[in-house]
Amino acid sequence: MDYYILAQVINGVIFGLIYALIALGLTVVFSIMRVVNFSHGEFYMLGGYALYALTAGAVTLFSIPLILPTIVGLPLAMVAVAIFGILVERGLLRPVYTARMDRPEEYAIILTFGLSLFLQYGALVTVGPYEMTPGSFWEGSKHIIGDLYLAGDRLFAAGTSVFLIGATLFFIYGTWTGRALMATAQNRVGSTIVGINTVRMNITAMALAGLLAGAAGALLAPVFLVYPDVGQIPVIKGFVIIVLGGMGSILGAVIAAVILGLVESLGSVYFSVAYRDVFAFLVLIGVLLFRPHGLLGQKARRV
Amino acid sequence: MLSAHNIVAGYVDEIDILQNVSVDVQEQQITSVIGPNGSGKSTLMRVICGFLTPKSGQVLWDDTDLTGRQSHTMAGLGICYLPQERTVYPHLTVEQNIYLGGWTFRRDKARIRHELSRVYDLFPMMQERRKSKAGNLSGGMQKILEVARGMMIRPEILICDEPTVGLAPIIAKEVYDTIERLKADGLTILLVDQNVREAIRIGDQIYVLEVGQNKVNGTRAEFEANQHDMIKDWLQI
């Protein structure tokens, strides 16, 4: 097999894994809170900026420039975005499910869309339109086999993504809190009556989304740089993936993400790299024509 | 044991669905609340179980004031509420559904196992179907699964809102049999129903609501005599 093609396949899988991190957060928040978080791409952006702020020495704390190792900066950046997610939930999204609001879904859409713009332009004003690059996680190219070399940062991103996806799946399917999340997604009243605090489940969902989106943003920051609207394209891919995988299906989202990464990567090789972002939608249209509920989605059940 | 005093409640400011309703539930009895559509039966249950804060009035659980208490804390007090709508988790298995009934004591693994086998003893048909998705069960089976899940906490009271609505009569009978069996085991039950005949047949105390007010209440014996007139009165014939 041509090493060039093999490299593209591996790259596709790596992007797929990163997309999966983004899509998992979107789908968990949507399932639990019924909120489509249009500002999720900015969570991703904030992950990149947080890593930059913590590791590049551009920020000073008590007049000492912050130059943490990137490997330490990554979990800190994730936690920072998770805290931001919790603040958004507490401060902005709460009226959706507590107050008696006439149109909570529309409120949530307008709110998260506005927040997305606010954060993009906020970043533009405060740090400027420049592309910033935090230090590497794993420097240089790594020799894999034959003529195949891959950037250390990409390999690190892939490995970390696999770990985080595995941890998320374990959390959701293997712990009481995870099962309570699933229960809340499937029947909110049914969860409340067994004693699950569904408000706390909302917080958990937003924190998880923040952790994963922050991780994705930070992992790709050394590869693709960070700038104010860096999250726009990835979040659209995230939306495509959760529809493709079947709304609310966690495993479906992971599978769809890897498929999308592969299609983009190979499409760029065999057709044209200019159409890279178009492939996502071609795949989406193709799948929805034959499976309207997505790859692993549940058919809508109406009583 | 459980009582609601002079409840006034509604979903919007101008309209009071409940206009001064009181209900008193006696221990180890079935208390039936009946009344025509729109009389406020379900709203009363929502108030008692913390899903709706009353504008005035008080809900008492022994000596604890439950008024306006958050709904998710009720299970921890031994109150099991089954609203009218379906509350199973459709994509989880029967066993996972029942497991989650033990959420309030989830850290006690031994107790979870113990209660699970006790619930299976009470509801053998749930054990047979433990691997099925709850959403694939029939409507009646889903209702019984809800009851089974609720029994995980060994509740002191079961509050059941129209458990048989939309079920075929033969399946409804199974649900009523389950409720009577639980009462025989010493459970206190507050039942809301539109099925007047059944509610009076299994109820020890009966309350009739009409347009958000107590119309009449009494024991089964008192009601069985007047049932015919009462139904005639509702149908206005």
A118-153 pLDDT tens trace: 999 999 999 989 998 888 888 888 777 777 888 889
Q: Which residues of B touch A186 (CB under 8 A)?
A: 89-92
Distance from CA of B224 to the nearest CA of A (A): 34
Top pLDDT among A40 and B222 is at: A40
Is residue B25 one of the residues assigned to a domain? yes
Average pLDDT of the segment spanning B72-93 = 94
Q: Could you say which of B87, B100, B135 has the minimum Cβ distance to residue A189?
A: B87
Closest residue in B to A179 (Cα) is: B100
Residue A274 lies in a domain: no
Residue B180 lies in a domain: yes
Q: With a cut of 60, say whether residue A300 has pLDDT above it.
A: no
Min distance A132 CA to chain B CA atoms (Å) = 45
- The predicted pLDDT at position A279 comes to 85
Best to test chain B binding among A194, A197, A250, A303 (most B CBs inside 10 Å)? A194
**B157-161 and B188-193 strand pairing:** parallel
Nearest to A196 among B51, B72, B82 (CB): B72
**Chain A: residue whose CA lies nearest to B107:** A176
Residues in chain B within 8 Å Cβ distance of A196: 72, 100, 103
User: Which pair of tokens denotes residue B67?
Assistant: 């008024």
- Tell whether the model's pLDDT for residue A303 goes beyond 60: no
A32: chain B residues, CB-CB within 8 Å: none
Distance CA B44, CA B23 (A): 9
CB-CB under 8 Å, A298 with B72: no
Nearest CA of chain A to the CA of B209: how many Å?
25
A180 to chain B: which residues are within 8 Å by CB?
A: 100, 103
The phi-psi region of residue A102 (left if phi > 0; otherwise alpha if psi is between -120 and 50; otherwise beta) is alpha
pLDDT at res. B2: 93
Q: What is the CATH number of the domain that holds B197?
A: 3.40.50.300
Specify the pTM. Answer: 0.90
Contact B41, B191 (CB under 8 A): no
Task: Among A100, A190, A298, select the one facing B87 at the smallest CB separation.
Answer: A190
- Record: contact B75-A189, CB cut-off 8 A: no
Number of domains in chain B: 1
pLDDT (tens digit per residue) in A37-91: 999 999 999 999 999 999 987 777 777 887 888 999 999 999 999 999 999 999 9
Q: How far is A190 from chain B (nearest CA, A)?
A: 4
Tokens of residue B33, six digits: 């609340």
pLDDT digits (tens, 9 = 90+) for B14-39: 889 999 999 999 999 999 999 888 88
Contact predicate A241/A250, CB 8 Å: no
> Measured between alpha carbons, how far is A293 from A300 in angstroms, rounded to an integer?
8
How would you list the strands of the sheet with B157-161, edge to edge? B79-82, B157-161, B188-193, B30-34, B205-210, B213-219
Within a domain: A93: yes
CB contact under 8 A, B75 and A198: no
Distance separating alpha carbons of residues B145 and B147, to the nearest angstrom:
5
Calculate the average pLDDT of chain A: 89
B200: pLDDT strictly greater than 60:
yes
pLDDT digits (tens, 9 = 90+) for A266-292: 988 888 888 888 888 888 888 888 888
Number of domains in chain A: 1
Report the pLDDT value the prediction gives residue A217, as an integer from 0 to 100: 95
Domain assignment present for B159: yes
Over range A238-266, report the average pLDDT. 90
Asked if A175 has any chain B CB less than 8 Å from its own CB, the reply is: no
Q: What number is the average pLDDT over the span B52-72?
A: 92
**Contact predicate A190/B88, CB 8 Å:** yes
Nearest to A6 by CA among A251, A269, A291: A269
The structure tokens listed for B87 are 């509350």
In a domain, B136, yes or no: no
Q: In which band, very low, low, confident or very high, does the pLDDT at B77 lie, cut at 50, 70 and 90?
A: very high
A100 contacts B82? CB cut-off 8 A = no
Answer yes or no: is B100 within a domain.
Answer: no
Lookup: tokens for A224: 């693709």
Look at residue B124 in the predicted model and tell me its pLDDT: 93
Can you give the pLDDT at residue B237?
56
Nearest CA in chain B to A301: B135
Q: What is the ipTM of this complex?
A: 0.90
A301 interfaces chain B, CB cutoff of 8 Å: yes
Q: Is residue B143 part of a domain?
A: no
Domain residues for the domain of B227 are: 2-87+155-235
Nearest chain A residue to B71 by CA distance is A192
B135: in domain? no
Query: Among A20-29, B141-150, B194-203, whose mean pLDDT is lowest?
Result: B194-203
Contacts of B76 in chain A (CB under 8 A): 195
A82-115 pLDDT, tens digit per residue, is 999 999 999 999 887 776 677 888 889 999 999 9
Amino acid in the structure at residue B68? G
B73 and chain A: CB distance < 8 Å anywhere?
yes
Domain range for A180 is 3-229
Nearest to A186 among B71, B81, B90 (CB): B90
